[in-house]
Amino acid sequence: MISTRGRYAIRVMIDLAENDNGSYIPLKDIAARQGISKKYLEIIVKDMVSGGLLVGASGKGGGYKLVRKPEEYSIGEVIELMEGSMATVACLENGAVPCPRASACQTLPLWAEYDKLTHDFFYSKHLSDLIRKNLSDETKEAIRDARQSRNLHGPYKKAEDAAAALLEDKTAAEFIYI
């Protein structure tokens, strides 16, 4: 399970990318927009700066910035920095001592396949994939229509259902209440 540290780190990075104006962005602004305690974010961003994901500046005009372009960050690297290894079992962690049971272990292929799926999924997703301004015009229009719709007809009882149906893409529905 991915903890709030990992989830909030991704939200901080999305916020920084969406609000990038070339200046440092104060943590209090990020905390307010994201509805997350500034104190908790201080702990999280400290690790993100140490891990090379962000750069910070203190004092007047201080705050945080992304070090790279949003498309250069994989979600997997953010999660692993904040959560540690995503390995399902200890014997599959990087640098693990070889397991004496590996050759006879009937479940190892299962765990190895699951680990590969998880790794490939998170490392194939990039910060730029999650930024609202990168949504297609069609997706933005469907979200706008769904938000404005007060009297939905047909089988759609919720705006996010209508938007997803318009696009036949469930990911669009996730952006409606962000």
- Domain extents in the chain: 1-96+111-134, 135-174
Strands (E), 36-93: 54-57, 63-66
pLDDT, residue 141, reads: 72
What is the pLDDT tens value at each position of the chain, 178 positions in all? 899 999 999 999 999 999 999 999 999 999 999 999 999 999 999 999 999 999 999 999 999 999 999 999 999 999 999 999 999 899 999 888 988 998 999 999 999 999 999 999 999 999 999 997 666 676 667 767 776 775 555 444 555 555 555 555 444 444 444 3
CA-to-CA separations, 89 to 68, 77, 95, 111, 155, in angstroms, rounded: 32, 19, 13, 7, 44
pLDDT, residue 176, reads: 42
Please say whether the beta carbons of 77 and 88 come within 8 A. Answer: no
Encoded tokens for 140: 């933005």
- Asked: is 1-96+111-134 a CATH 2.40.270.10 domain? The reply is no
pLDDT, residue 30, reads: 97
Cα atoms in the 13 Å half-sphere on the side-chain side of 141: 5
Is pTM, for the whole model, over 0.75? Answer: no
Which positions ≥6 away from 34 have C-beta within 8 Å?
A: 8, 11, 12, 15, 41
pLDDT, residue 124, reads: 96
Length of the chain in residues, anyone? 178
CA-to-CA separations, 22 to 1, 65, 74, 88, in angstroms, rounded: 34, 8, 21, 39
